[in-house]
Every structure is written in structure tokens, then in C-alpha cells.
Amino acid sequence: MEEATYRGTVYPWQCDHVGHMNVMWYVGKFDEATWNFIARFGLTPSYLRSSGRGMAAVQQNIAYRRELLAGDIVEIRSRLLGIREKSIRFLHEMRNVETGEIAATCELTGVHMDRKIRKSAPFEESIRNIAAQHVVVPEPEAV
């Protein structure tokens, strides 16, 4: 299932000398979408605080497709590609709401960790079970 995880506007101060949204803001918007997305599986701020757990991004691949300009409204939709004992992999698609064009994609791998010992830790079974129900199996490519 692909779900909306972020919606916002490109502000003029987020644009660079070329006039389009600077890469640092793409990363920031993808980060906000990430926290909204993983909360749906039980990785909420209160769970992370009370359990002493955290999440760390270990790989992030961004593809920039179309520029975004000041005033553009963007939406990020996210889908879960897989969850393992200690890691999660998902994809964000950022679209220009007005045109429907994909502006950027971000595939991210995150690791669940114990904040005290600073090492990876298994997800609770309940989190893995909830997340497993949302894994999107990619459709085969047309030949």
C-alpha cells in the first residue's frame, strides 16, 4: 500500500541560486515523510523514547527527476519494500501536486537500534507483524 506521508509547499528561501529547491530541502522533506511513515508501524516518538530504541539511516539513494520551484505544492507517498529482523527498506516518491510529475524518489534503508549501546537491535515482533502486512511487492517489468 502506498500512503501519503508528507504534503507541503516549496518556499522561496528553500531555493538556490538556480531558482529551484535546493537538494538539502529534498532530504529534509523525505526525512519528515520517513517519521510519518514508520510511525504507522508502531515506531512512534513515544515508543522510541520509552523503549530506548532509535532508527538510523544506513543507505539513502535519491534520484532527482524534475525541478521544484517556489510555490510548488509537493506530496510524498511512501511504500514499504521490506522488513527484516533489524532493518527496514522503503521508497518515497515526491510529486508536484499540480502537474502530477515525479520530482524525486528516495529509497532508504534504516536500522532499528538500541540507543544506549549504539548497536542494531531486533524490531519487536508486533512492529514486524504490522509492517509485514504493508510490504509492497513490485510488479514485474513489462517485456
Mean pLDDT of the chain: 94
Q: Based on C-alpha coordinates, what's the Rg of the chain?
A: 16
State the pLDDT at residue 121. 97
Residue 34 resides in a domain: yes
Residue 105 resides in a domain: yes
Domain span at residue 90? Answer: 3-132
Residue 139 resides in a domain: no
- Residue type (1 letter), 84: R
CB 103 within 8 A of CB 109: no
The residue count of the chain comes to: 143
Q: How many domains does the chain divide into?
A: 1
Is residue 71 pLDDT above 80, yes or no? yes
Q: Where residue 70 sits, what CATH number does that domain have? A: 3.10.129.10
Q: What residues does 79 pair with on adjacent strands?
A: 91
State the pLDDT at residue 58. 96
Under the banding of pLDDT at 50, 70 and 90, the label for residue 61 is very high
State the pLDDT at residue 1. 54
Task: Return the C-alpha cell found at 31.
Answer: 526525512
Is residue 106 pLDDT above 70, yes or no? yes
d(CA 2, CA 108): 15
On the 0-12 / 13-18 / 19+ scale of CB atoms within 10 A, 123 is: buried
